[in-house]
Amino acid sequence: MASELKTHIELHGDNPLKARIAGKPWKAALVAKFILGFGIDHAVEHYGFSYATAHAVMAFYYDNQEAIETAMKTSDENLVQTTTSLDEHIAELRKKANTKQS
């Protein structure tokens, strides 16, 4: 009888932030951060996955820590730029609206 091999992490492209726990919507890097903050027992209880999955998440995180941290930093920087651009755009729209009302 052949047994089925288990896969715990699914990769989606080259971005390590897109890797997910197999069959689940949870991003592996974010779950790893949760485990680092709250502990593996709490993560297993909270998410309802196995200890094997939790350890696979941590192995993925530590094997790819530099790439994950770089991607998170880049993502944060892009968010700040987008927010700044959005704020500037809103200010510009308000200015145009005020000009039209005058």
Q: What's the number of CA atoms in the CB half-sphere (13 Å) around residue 24?
A: 19
Evaluate whether residue 27 is within a structural domain: yes
pTM over 0.95, yes/no: no
Q: What's the number of CA atoms in the CB half-sphere (13 Å) around residue 93?
A: 6
Q: Choose among 9, 91, 6: nearest CA to 58.
A: 9
Evaluate whether residue 43 is within a structural domain: yes
Evaluate whether residue 51 is within a structural domain: yes
Instruction: Render pLDDT for 24-67 as a digit per residue (tens, 0 to 9).
Output: 999 999 999 999 999 999 999 999 999 999 999 999 999 999 99
Q: Given this model, what pLDDT does residue 79 score?
A: 64
Residue 71 and residue 59 in contact, taking contact as beta carbons nearer than 8 Å? no
Total structural domains within the chain:
1
- The token pair at 89 is 């755009």
Evaluate whether residue 22 is within a structural domain: yes
The domain of 78 spans 9-101
Evaluate whether residue 34 is within a structural domain: yes
Evaluate whether residue 31 is within a structural domain: yes
- The token pair at 55 is 């350890």
Instruction: Render pLDDT for 66-100 as a digit per residue (tens, 0 to 9).
Output: 999 999 888 767 666 666 677 776 777 787 778 77
Evaluate whether residue 85 is within a structural domain: yes
| Residue bearing the bigger pLDDT, 18 or 74 | 18
